[in-house]
Amino acid sequence: MPQDTFTLRLIAKELDETLRGGKINRVNQPEKEELALIVYTGKRTVKLTVNANAAECGVYFTGDERENPLVAPNFCMLLRKHLTGAEILGVSLDGFERILVIRIKCFSDFSETERELRAEIMGKYSNIILVENGTVLGALKTTMLDENCKRAILPGVKYVLPAPQDKVNPSDKAALAALLASPHEDMARFLFLHVAGLAPCTAEEIVSSYRGGNFPEHVYDYIFSDEISPCVMERDGEATDFFARHREGARPFPTLSAAQSYFYGKKRSRKHIEGERRRLSAAVNTVRKKAEKRLFQIRDKQRECASLEENRVKGELLTANLYALSRGMKSCELLNYYDERGGTLKISLDETLTPSQNAQNYFKKYHKQKRTLEALEPQEKEAAAELDYAESLAAAISAAGSADDLRSLEEELLSAGMLKAPKEPRGRKNPPEIGFRQYEKAGFSIRAGRNNLQNDKLVRASAPEDIWLHTQKYHSCHVVIETKGREVTGEVLLYAAGICARYSDAKGGGKVPVDYCKIKYVKKPPKSKAGFVIYTDFKTVLAEPIEE
């Protein structure tokens, strides 16, 4: 993100044209390091975002609606006190610093005062400071007074600019000409290191756009030109950077604010999605680990009961040979008539018991182990189903590509008791219901479930002749092609199978086997977990996951 002085100068010019003469109606602080000024410009109401977060610092207009905390932070309360109802006089840069200054005329019952809201866009050192007559009234981030403090930012202290860098101000033509009098091997890096206010990408663009002539003049003209063609560079559906000048292959925008709003909105959305993905994955992993532990314990007990047939055989052999045994024997070796090879079996005995009592002991062990295995069988099925269900949720969470996907999965986790329902503030409206994923191919409507509950609903809502698809031996969403009595083409079938593969836990790329059949052959067993079905009369196709 080239939030350098070159870009900020153009942003300041753009903001000044819109905000000059506007009235601040409201001040909010939706995030710890972000302010939102609601400004009426005389023609419309705009929302100005001022962000001092290291990864998202910037000043731009945005139209997103985000919730504000129930209790406003102290700095927000200070700004509401001083800026509500104030008039914006203009927006500019402080010299050639990365400091954007919003000059504001504030009114009280008996006086008018001019104040400045200073947005210092400096990466991890970014800050928002309210200044009056050169004195700090308040700041988003304050510094303590100590011997190591080079620049105090506290209410009541004199506002001073950050320490200047040892670089040439490009507005000084003579100094710029002297600096660039001789060529350098890596001119872009030289510009970045020795000319103030340039990001590396800006320096590279200055050098690449040079077509001969006076190079210092070219540098000056490039930096101070009002030419602008905002754009956002994207890669694999992700916004990677925004620029004030056109870049090959980038997405154009009408204003720098629009480009920034889109870029940071995408970045914030991805951050939110990954945070939600981690939260839901943690809840599912807890359930999965419990199911795995339970299944291990059950199978461990089953292994302990593996000798039940051996105990039955020993009891029967002892019963058949009571005449040859006597009390006090510690063991015996009897002909095993269950062994096809006619071998013998050595049997341990309790010397304090009679041969008949020893035989009964082995029968008791056998019946106890048999009862245990009978009791463990449904428990094993239940634990295996629980583990399979948790793994299907984990696969869906991993494949989710949007906030709607994750919200639908959150609803399923809440209904399954894997998450605790959050306390909703009074008066908040319930969000609209999230529908199926919708696609269309060659005139066929294709729907896919976002979670297991939707998968069940999709099967119930489809016609018997519709085509149902699911990955073979992998967890995936359910996909249905609505046929309306038509024959489904191979192109449509492969596309729907690609959707299935896209939202599955098949890893490693390549083609994924996908089963398909008519809905009438898909059945949901009674009392089975959400999303679990059995199907017959199916065929299999190999499909590449589609790219969203």
Q: What pLDDT, on a 0 to 100 scale, did the predictor assign at position 33?
A: 92
Domain that holds residue 23: 5-139
Q: Considering the chain, what percentage of its residues have pLDDT values greater than 70?
A: 97
The residues pairing with 481 across neighbouring beta strands, listed in sequence order, are: 446, 467
78-94 pLDDT, tens digit per residue, is: 999 999 999 999 999 99
Q: How confident is the model at residue 333 (pLDDT cuts 50, 70, 90)?
A: very high
Mean per-residue pLDDT for 348-364? 94
90-123 pLDDT, tens digit per residue, is: 999 998 889 999 999 998 777 889 999 999 999 8
94 located within any domain: yes
268-285 pLDDT, tens digit per residue, is: 888 889 999 999 999 999
Distance CA 9, CA 262 (A): 20
Q: What pLDDT, on a 0 to 100 scale, did the predictor assign at position 429?
A: 61
Q: How confident is the model at residue 424 (pLDDT cuts 50, 70, 90)?
A: low
164-223 pLDDT, tens digit per residue, is: 888 999 989 999 999 988 888 899 999 999 999 899 989 999 999 988 889 999 999 999
Distance CA 340, CA 330 (A): 27
Residue type, 512: V
DSSP labels, 93-139: ESTTSSEEEEEEEEE-SS-EEEEEEEEE--GGG-EEEEEETTEEEEE
Q: How confident is the model at residue 510 (pLDDT cuts 50, 70, 90)?
A: confident
Reading the block at residue 118, the tokens are 């200073």
Among 123, 139, 155, the domain-final residue is: 139
Phi, psi of 119 (to 5 degrees): -105, 105
CB 7 within 8 A of CB 244: yes
Q: β-strand 539-543 against 127-132: which pairing, if any?
A: unpaired
405-420 pLDDT, tens digit per residue, is: 898 999 899 888 888 8
CA 147, 125, 101: angle at the middle one, nearest 5? 110
How does the average pLDDT of the chain come out, rounded?
90
443-486 pLDDT, tens digit per residue, is: 999 999 999 999 999 999 999 999 999 999 899 999 999 999 89
529 located within any domain: yes
Distance CA 535, CA 524 (A): 9
Distance CA 232, CA 258 (A): 10
361-401 pLDDT, tens digit per residue, is: 999 999 999 999 999 999 999 999 999 999 999 999 988 88
Q: How far is CA 402 from the centre of its chain?
A: 8
Place of tokens 């890669």: 235
DSSP labels, 236-257: TTEEEEEESS--TTPEE-SSHH
The lowest-confidence range among 36-45, 236-245, 304-313 is: 236-245
Taking alpha carbons only, the member of 235, 548, 240, 239 closest to residue 399 is 548
Q: What pLDDT, on a 0 to 100 scale, did the predictor assign at position 187?
A: 92
286 located within any domain: no
Phi, psi of 476 (to 5 degrees): -160, 170
Reading the block at residue 504, the tokens are 């599955």
Q: What pLDDT, on a 0 to 100 scale, did the predictor assign at position 376?
A: 94
CB 303 within 8 A of CB 405: no
CA dihedral for 327, 331, 335, 339, sign (positive or negative): positive
Q: What pLDDT, on a 0 to 100 scale, did the predictor assign at position 467?
A: 95
Helices H / strands E in the chain, number of each: 12, 22
Q: How confident is the model at residue 237 (pLDDT cuts 50, 70, 90)?
A: confident
Distance CA 58, CA 10 (A): 13
Q: What pLDDT, on a 0 to 100 scale, did the predictor assign at position 478?
A: 95
Place of tokens 């991890």: 124
CB 459 within 8 A of CB 399: no
Phi, psi of 124 (to 5 degrees): -70, -15
Q: What pLDDT, on a 0 to 100 scale, did the predictor assign at position 148?
A: 60
Q: What pLDDT, on a 0 to 100 scale, did the predictor assign at position 149?
A: 66
Q: Would you put residue 58 in left (φ > 0), alpha (ψ -120 to 50) or beta?
A: left
Distance CA 187, CA 417 (A): 61
Mean per-residue pLDDT for 2-20? 91
Contacts 24+ apart (CB under 8 A), 162-167: 162/97, 162/120, 162/122, 162/125, 165/196, 167/193, 167/194, 167/195, 167/196
Q: Is the pLDDT of residue 430 over 80?
A: no
Among 90, 121, 139, the domain-final residue is: 139
DSSP labels, 135-194: EEEEESS----STT-SS---TTSBP-PPPPPSSB-TT-HHHHHHHTSS--TTHHHHHHHH
Q: What pLDDT, on a 0 to 100 scale, did the predictor assign at position 132?
A: 93
CATH number, domain with residue 93: 2.30.310.10
CB 308 within 8 A of CB 373: yes
Q: β-strand 437-441 against 344-348: which pairing, if any?
A: unpaired
Q: What pLDDT, on a 0 to 100 scale, did the predictor assign at position 215?
A: 92
Give 107's contacts (C-beta < 8 A, 6+ positions apart).
85, 86, 87
Provide the number of structural domains found in the chain.
2
Mean per-residue pLDDT for 144-167? 81
Distance CA 125, CA 162 (A): 10
The lowest-confidence range among 141-155, 366-380, 422-436 is: 422-436
Q: What pLDDT, on a 0 to 100 scale, did the predictor assign at position 388?
A: 92
Phi, psi of 49 (to 5 degrees): -95, 130
273 located within any domain: no
Give 214's contacts (C-beta < 8 A, 6+ positions apart).
none
525 located within any domain: yes
Q: What pLDDT, on a 0 to 100 scale, did the predictor assign at position 183?
A: 82
Helix (H, G, I), strand (E, B) or coil at 424: coil
CB 22 within 8 A of CB 87: yes
491 located within any domain: yes
Q: How many CB atoms lie within 10 A of CB 349?
A: 22
Q: β-strand 231-235 against 127-132: which pairing, if any?
A: unpaired
Q: β-strand 467-471 against 437-441: which pairing, if any?
A: unpaired
CB 478 within 8 A of CB 449: yes
495-506 pLDDT, tens digit per residue, is: 999 999 999 988
Q: What pLDDT, on a 0 to 100 scale, did the predictor assign at position 507?
A: 73
42-66 pLDDT, tens digit per residue, is: 889 999 999 999 888 999 999 887 7
Among 120, 139, 158, the domain-final residue is: 139
What is the DSSP-derived secondary structure letter of residue 325? Answer: -
